[in-house]
C-alpha cells in the first residue's frame, strides 16, 4: 500500500513534485526546534492550490499523516517531520499576486517569504504590519498558521490583525476561499480567524490577503535605561498616552541580556553604568523635538535614568544590534533553549525575579537572559550552557528548564506561548494555559474538521 500511495501522488502531481528517500533535501527533514532530523516518507512540492487539494484528498483517503512546511523557522516543532509523515512544502507557491492600492491590501501565495511581502508593500508605498527576526526565510503562510508576533505588535497587532482574507485547503481537499479585502465583513462564522494560529492542524493555508498600513512619516529610535520593570511599564504608559498610535516598538532587555551582548557578543556598553532594564523604543512622530520633551519629563521623574536618541540611521542600527544580538548566541552556545511566554504586564517584574531565582537554584552553571516585547506582555527567555559546556543537551535537561520556566508562568497566570505556538514541544504544557473545557472544545473542533487526524498530527493537541 505504501508504494501505491506514492504512485498515486506521482500520477497526480508529476514525478518532479514528489520526492522520496535521498532526493529529499536535508532542509525539509527538520525545522528550527533542534529536534533530531527525520526524513519524511515523501516530500510533496505542489505548484498551486489545486495540487494541494489533490494531494490532501489522496492522503486523507489513505489516512496518511501530513506535515505542512513553510520556511521551517518555527521553534516549537510544528513543521518538524514525524516518522512516517508525508511533508507538504509550500515552497513553490511563492509570489505576490496583487497589491490593491485603493483597498490597501496585498494578496500573496502562502509560500512567499515575509521579507518579499514587506518589500512589495513598501514599493507600493505601504507598510506590512508583520515583522520578525526570521523575515528572510519565514513564509507568510507560516506566519498565518502560527499567528506570528514580532517587533511591531504594539502598533500593528499579531498576524491575526493583519489578515483580511485566506484561502485554505481542508484535510479532505475541500478548498475554502475567502479572499476578502474589506475591513468589515460580518457574514457568518469567520473560519479564517479559527485557522489563524491553528498551526496547520485544521487546514493548509494557500493564499493570504493582508491589510496594509500607511508608512510612518519618520521613525525616531531611542535607547532608554530604566531602574526597574515597573519603571519600564510606567514609561510605556506615558509614551502610549502621549504618542498613541505613533509608538511602533517597545522592546525590553534585562541586565543579563545586555551583559551577554557586551561581554560575549562584544558590543560596546550602551550606557556608562549597568541598568536593570534597557529599552529600545521606536516612535513614528516625525517630530523629534516632541520626543525629546517627553523623554526629558520622564528623566526628571526618575523613570528614565539614562537615554540616547538616534541621530542617524546608523545610530538606530547600532541600537537594534543589542536586540538582535540574541541571533548570535551560536558563537558561544551550541544548544540554547528558547522560551516564549506571556505574563500580565503588572506581573512582569515579579516574574523576572522568580525566573532569576529558579535559574540560580536549578541551573546555576547556565546563562539565562530575559528580553522581549513588553508592551505586548511577551517575554523571551533563553537558557544555555556557558561556552559550549555541558548541560541541556539531553531531553531531560530541556525538560527541567521547561518545567522551571512554565511553573513561574503558571504562578503568575501567564501563557506558555506568546507567539511561537505550541507545536510538539509545548503540547505537554498546554493545560497550564487552557482549561479542560477549552481543551475538550479544541479536540471537538479538530475532530469535526479533520476526522482522520491527518493534518500535523500531534501538534497542538494529543494525536487522536
Residue (313 or 346) nearer to a second copy, CB = 346
Beta strands 163-169; 86-89: pairing state? unpaired
Positive/negative CA dihedral, 196, 282, 134, 371: negative
* 146 touching a second copy, by CB under 8 A: yes
User: What is the strand order of the sheet 86-89 is part of?
Assistant: 18-19, 42-44, 86-89, 66-69
Candidates 20-28, 34-42, 395-403, 409-417: pick the segment binding a second copy (CB under 8 A). Answer: 409-417
* 383 touching a second copy, by CB under 8 A: no
Tell me if residue 50 falls in helix, strand or coil: helix
Candidates 267-275, 315-323, 331-339, 437-445: pick the segment binding a second copy (CB under 8 A). Answer: 437-445
Residue (26 or 448) nearer to a second copy, CB = 448
DSSP state of 346: G
* 145 touching a second copy, by CB under 8 A: no
**CA 53 – CA 26 distance, rounded (Å):** 25
* 188 touching a second copy, by CB under 8 A: yes
Candidates 10-18, 107-115, 186-194, 305-313: pick the segment binding a second copy (CB under 8 A). Answer: 186-194
* 452 touching a second copy, by CB under 8 A: no
Query: Which of residues 344, 388, 389, 390 is near a second copy by CB under 8 A?
Result: 344
* 397 touching a second copy, by CB under 8 A: no
324's grid cell:
538582535
Query: Which of residues 11, 194, 360, 365 is near a second copy by CB under 8 A?
Result: 194
Contacts with a second copy in 288-307 (CB under 8 A)?
none
* 450 touching a second copy, by CB under 8 A: no
Tell me if residue 6 falls in helix, strand or coil: helix
Contacts with a second copy in 207-246 (CB under 8 A)?
213-217, 233, 237, 240-242, 244-246
* 175 touching a second copy, by CB under 8 A: yes
* 437 touching a second copy, by CB under 8 A: yes
Measured in degrees and rounded to the nearest 5, phi and psi for residue 337 equal -110, 125
Residue (85 or 246) nearer to a second copy, CB = 246
* 342 touching a second copy, by CB under 8 A: yes
Give the DSSP letter string of 397-413: HHHHHHHHHHHHHHHTT
**CA 284 – CA 298 distance, rounded (Å):** 19
CB-CB contact of 248 with 155 (8 Å)? yes
Measured in degrees and rounded to the nearest 5, phi and psi for residue 54 equal -65, -45
- Count of residues near a second copy by CB under 8 A: 91
CB of 305 to a second copy, least distance (A): 21
Query: Which of residues 51, 116, 251, 419 is near a second copy by CB under 8 A?
Result: 419
* 68 touching a second copy, by CB under 8 A: no
Beta strand ranges found along 11-114 (DSSP E) = 18-19, 42-44, 66-69, 86-89, 96-100, 105-109
Give the other-Cβ count within 10 Å of 84's Cβ: 11
CB-CB contact of 63 with 23 (8 Å)? no
Residue (19 or 426) nearer to a second copy, CB = 426
CB-CB contact of 159 with 130 (8 Å)? yes
**CA 335 – CA 415 distance, rounded (Å):** 24
Residue (36 or 187) nearer to a second copy, CB = 187
Candidates 110-118, 297-305, 310-318, 426-434: pick the segment binding a second copy (CB under 8 A). Answer: 426-434
CB-CB contact of 224 with 307 (8 Å)? yes
Residue (126 or 332) nearer to a second copy, CB = 126
* 112 touching a second copy, by CB under 8 A: no
Residue (24 or 460) nearer to a second copy, CB = 460
Amino acid at each position: 500500500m505504501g508504494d501505491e500511495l506514492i504512485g498515486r501522488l506521482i500520477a497526480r502531481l508529476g514525478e518532479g513534485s514528489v520526492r522520496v528517500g535521498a532526493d529529499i533535501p536535508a532542509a525539509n527533514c527538520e525545522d528550527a526546534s533542534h529536534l533530531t532530523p527525520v526524513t519524511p516518507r515523501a516530500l510533496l512540492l505542489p505548484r498551486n492550490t489545486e495540487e494541494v487539494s489533490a494531494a490532501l484528498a489522496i492522503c486523507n483517503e489513505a489516512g496518511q499523516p501530513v506535515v505542512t512546511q513553510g520556511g521551517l523557522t518555527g521553534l516549537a516543532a510544528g513543521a518538524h517531520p514525524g516518522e512516517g509523515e508525508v511533508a507538504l512544502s509550500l515552497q513553490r507557491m511563492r509570489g505576490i499576486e496583487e497589491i490593491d492600492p485603493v483597498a490597501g491590501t496585498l494578496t500573496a501565495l502562502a509560500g512567499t517569504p515575509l521579507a518579499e511581502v514587506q518589500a512589495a508593500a513598501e514599493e507600493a508605498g505601504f507598510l506590512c504590519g508583520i515583522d520578525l527576526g526570521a523575515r528572510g526565510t519565514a513564509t507568510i503562510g507560516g506566519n498565518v498558521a502560527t499567528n506570528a508576533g514580532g517587533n511591531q505588535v504594539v502598533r500593528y497587532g499579531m498576524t491575526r490583525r493583519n489578515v483580511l482574507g485566506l484561502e485554505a485547503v481542508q484535510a479532505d481537499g475541500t478548498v475554502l476561499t475567502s479572499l476578502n479585502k474589506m475591513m468589515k465583513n460580518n457574514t457568518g462564522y469567520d473560519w479564517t480567524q479559527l485557522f489563524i494560529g491553528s498551526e496547520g492542524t485544521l487546514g493548509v493555508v494557500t493564499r493570504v490577503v493582508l491589510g496594509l498600513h500607511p508608512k510612518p512619516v519618520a521613525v525616531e529610535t531611542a535607547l532608554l535605561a530604566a531602574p526597574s520593570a515597573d519603571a519600564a511599564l510606567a514609561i510605556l504608559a506615558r509614551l502610549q498616552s502621549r504618542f498613541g498610535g505613533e509608538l511602533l516598538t517597545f522592546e525590553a532587555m534585562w541586565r543579563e541580556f545586555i551583559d551577554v551582548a557586551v561581554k560575549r557578543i562584544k558590543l560596546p556598553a550602551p550606557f556608562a553604568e549597568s541598568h536593570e532594564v534597557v529599552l529600545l523604543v521606536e516612535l513614528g512622530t516625525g517630530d523629534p523635538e516632541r520626543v525629546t520633551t517627553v523623554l526629558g519629563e520622564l528623566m526628571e521623574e526618575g523613570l528614565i535614568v539614562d537615554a540616547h536618541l538616534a541621530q542617524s540611521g546608523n545610530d538606530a542600527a547600532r541600537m537594534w544590534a543589542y536586540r538582535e544580538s540574541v541571533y548570535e548566541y551560536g558563537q558561544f552556545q551550541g544548544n540554547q533553549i528558547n522560551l516564549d511566554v506571556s505574563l500580565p504586564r503588572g506581573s512582569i517584574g515579579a516574574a523576572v525575579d522568580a525566573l532569576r531565582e529558579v535559574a540560580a537554584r536549578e541551573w546555576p552553571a547556565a546563562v539565562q537572559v530575559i528580553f522581549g516585547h513588553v508592551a505586548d506582555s511577551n517575554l523571551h527567555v533563553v537558557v544555555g550552557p556557558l561556552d559550549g559546556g555541558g548541560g541541556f543537551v539531553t531531553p531531560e535537561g530541556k525538560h527541567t528548564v521547561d518545567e522551571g520556566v512554565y511553573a513561574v508562568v503558571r504562578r503568575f497566570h501567564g501563557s506558555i506561548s506568546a507567539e511561537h505556538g505550541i507545536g510538539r514541544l509545548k503540547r505537554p504544557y498546554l493545560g497550564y494555559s487552557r482549561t479542560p473545557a477549552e481543551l475538550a472544545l479544541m479536540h471537538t473542533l479538530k475532530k469535526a474538521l479533520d476526522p482522520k487526524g491527518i493534518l500535523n498530527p500531534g501538534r497542538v493537541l494529543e494525536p487522536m
